[in-house]
Chains A and B, each alone.
Chain A
């Protein structure tokens, strides 16, 4: 019953024979103590490509993301790093990055959030519906998730 009413109110429709895409928004998150409040999508790409390795305070950036082969990360890699997901994965997996441990792959968004909550130098990318108050969502190209035109809105 409850769904019927909401369907009526929100004008939802059911698609029986085709799997519909759903839109989700990816949040770029940092530790609350991190001074960063915003960055451009290009800046995020530079961090992922290891062109930018340090925060303005000089501390090394640790990237915490999901497996680059996951559909969600493929979207984020293509969007933020440009080029194909395969190129992006290769860059993220480069051997030379490993000693510095600048990229950590974890299985779930919850793991990313936990890692960022406890690491003042970390930056993570998660589905916005998984954020907690223990992380800070930073603006990308002056927009945050749910803003129209937000760069990291995916399907």
Chain B
């Protein structure tokens, strides 16, 4: 396991260093695969955004970070290289910005954003634009951030990694699949074999409702990087989204054969078993990545998924106990987002609305503690808690609780433009209107959050109550087709599938709360 990883790091190091010095060296040519070599060679120095650091080591580690994190999707290793880069040069502004942009650790995000400010004067003008984009996406300055990125893309039309990074952000953070596809297609027009874009474009199509376009891109991605695990991992995930669990498992296993330490494929196997209903096997499989992951946030996220299996198999007592233990561990490790998420997840599965509201109180209380997390990060989790509160209130007919949650979300949404916050606001507004009997108003707001199972469930109810039966059936079919590992899916989708199977009408108000 470890031997493979070391070998891989050596290979990446060789061509990353070659890139940092000039272009492709004979050594890199000898060691790297043809595809990777081609991609690296095409990134001539003048084609890319400048990287300003006084340290050769910092530059080398920064490039290794990008190779791991962006090109090959070894995320933990990539982040570790960014950490080494800023250690080697504490005045490396782009290094700090990149670490802040990619880290999953909220404390590190806060710290690194502060260090960006302190070191920004060391950056070159175009580098500052990239920093402006990275930090702007974190602190809500989206309009100047987008403008900065488009300026850079115009100046560096051949910087494929830059464009891919933008496409990845549009896809993941903005959920703007059409715009992401547009950016990524442009890269592939210039270089049809640029594999990071192949991966992201496949996801853009799959998530944007053009699933039939994704498998050919995945075939191309796998062929481009035969010795890498991520193409197999991505292929598996897309197949799982499509409900093809056996083939998904095959691809995840292939990824692990290629790279036994590629723990996200191990998570994929566990979650696939969870979706298949084999929760006992899922729990066993989740234990492996919990042991393998180096980042504490990753480990905690996987523990949450492990605890969720008890809910999935309808063992609420064990589930509450498991989530309680994970929450306590998260508290001990000063991971308030994960701690709050444990309480929120417990609430979603709680059949007693009053008790569920108490769970949500506990979740909110965690976030009121003075912790080292960005206010925006805190707001995002708080928005999810408030949306959950409004959903549970709608299920139990509690107008006052729904209104209170909406008031808080409304206030938050005035200052925080994050998609999660905005979508949660619309969902809560839809819930209140639903409870007031304004079904057409509810539909309008709930349609603003078209990817969240909680909102989709309420939307189907509102459509049904307003006589839009065909639309309600379409929404339910959409819900029933969801295959992911989120708590929302686990709560909402199984009853919808069961009801559709028995031809009855599944309703949010008719289920557990």
Contacts and interface: CB of A to CB of B under 8 A. Distances in A.
Q: Report whether chain A binds chain B.
A: yes
Top 10 nearest A-B pairs by Cβ distance? Answer: A19-B209, A146-B417, A6-B172, A16-B481, A14-B241, A148-B413, A18-B478, A1-B264, A133-B147, A17-B481
B148 A17 contact: no
Nearest to A24: B176
Nearest to A148: B413
Contacts of B199: 2-3
B477 A12 contact: no
A11 interface: yes
Contacts of A135: 147
B154 A132 contact: yes
A137 interface: yes
Contacts of B450: 20-21
18 contacts: A1-B75, A3-B200, A5-B75, A6-B173, A10-B419, A11-B488, A12-B451, A12-B486, A13-B484, A14-B206, A14-B484, A15-B209, A19-B210, A21-B450, A24-B178, A127-B179, A129-B176, A147-B417
B482 A1 contact: no
A16 B268 contact: no
Range class of the B interface residue count = 35 or more
A100 interface: no
Contacts of B477: 17-18
Nearest to B229: A1
Interface string B99-126: 0000010000000000000000000000
Nearest to A6: B172
A8 B485 contact: yes
B299 to A, nearest CB: 13
Residues of A contacting B: mostly: loop
Interface string B170-212: 1111111111000000000000000000011001001111110
A7 B148 contact: no
A20 B349 CA distance: 27
Residues of B contacting A: mostly: helix
Interface string B233-249: 11001000111000000
Contacts of A132: 147, 150-151, 154
A9 B422 CA distance: 16
Contacts of A11: 384, 420, 452, 486, 488
B486 A7 contact: yes
B23 interface: no
Contacts, number: 155
A65 interface: no
A18 B209 contact: yes
Interface in A91-108: none
A145 B170 CA distance: 15
Interface of B: 73, 75, 104, 142-144, 146-148, 150-151, 154, 168, 170-179, 199-200, 203, 206-211, 229-230, 233-234, 237, 241-243, 262, 264-265, 267-268, 301, 384, 410, 413-414, 417, 419-420, 422, 425, 447-448, 450-453, 474, 477-478, 481-486, 488-489
Interface of A: 1-24, 27, 113, 127-135, 137, 144-148, 155
A8 B301 contact: yes
Given A3-B203, A16-B211, A144 B478 contact: no
B143 A145 contact: yes
A5 B73 CA distance: 11
Given A17-B477, A147-B417, 8 more contacts: A8-B486, A10-B172, A11-B488, A13-B451, A14-B241, A19-B209, A19-B210, A146-B417
Contacts of A5: 75, 104, 264
